[in-house]
Chains A and B, each alone.
Chain A
């Protein structure tokens, strides 16, 4: 669900990246933005300090959770 901060409505995006093609993607952080474009700009500005070969962002609300720490599976 979206929530308000500076913008009328924002989403949280998880940022994934890897340094080598043989490595799996791992979550390196997250950004909060009103749309995908700004989220891309923020992810790149915030997490570009390393030489990633791949970076991607995923809206947190698009992730389907099966279970989380302390929870039973579906």
Chain B
């Protein structure tokens, strides 16, 4: 959704098109993931902003292209690594279904890394990186337990190391207070997606434009 907001605002026409394409990819990825989760018995999320388990970086629209670049390189990168860990885990429904995602996410990675070189995005990258590490969760936590059980191909240390390799930079000093970490939403910051985006996600915004009785 945040990618889509930039499909007419990126610095070049090619980047506009890439933003739209990556947004479409990620909508497809969400559909596959939600379908898989439902099959695995996970209940559907609620409908309030705080019910969405998104990283706080996505709560508000980005005002700078550097924020897009940071999300693309760091958060999309962290997401891809988690998908890779699931593909290399032993949950069959995830192993088989998520492989195509990795092929598509590879192009998101190329896009993000190249733009990172072209943009002065250090501050935004640092902010996104802290959120990515926070999303991976505390060492010795649920991700490491899933890794020990064989459900994930990587634990927290591997995920953080691989992210560092992908970004070819030094990670930020982490100041996450794990005591305030919400293990369901995988974040420390309260709040959620802005109301307008929430209404668009749920199709409520479109309903306003429907003819009466429609």
Q: Which residues of A contact B (CB under 8 A)?
A: 5-8, 31-35, 37-38, 40-42, 44-46, 48
Which of A8, A33, A40, A42 is packed against the most chain B CB atoms within 10 Å? A42
Please report the total number of B residues contacting A with Cβ < 8 Å.
18
Once the chains bind, are B107 and A41 in contact (CB under 8 Å)?
yes
**Closest-CB distance, B12 to chain A (whole angstroms):** 5
Interface secondary structure of B, over-half rule? helix
A-chain residues with CB within 8 Å of residue B21 when the two chains form the complex: 44-46, 48
A-B contact sample (15 more), CB < 8 A, given A38-B111, A46-B18: A7-B118, A34-B117, A37-B110, A40-B107, A41-B107, A41-B108, A41-B110, A41-B114, A42-B15, A42-B18, A42-B111, A45-B20, A45-B21, A46-B21, A48-B21
A-chain residues with CB within 8 Å of residue B22 when the two chains form the complex: 45
Which of A35, A37, A41, A42 is packed against the most chain B CB atoms within 10 Å? A41
B151 at interface by CB-CB < 8 Å: no
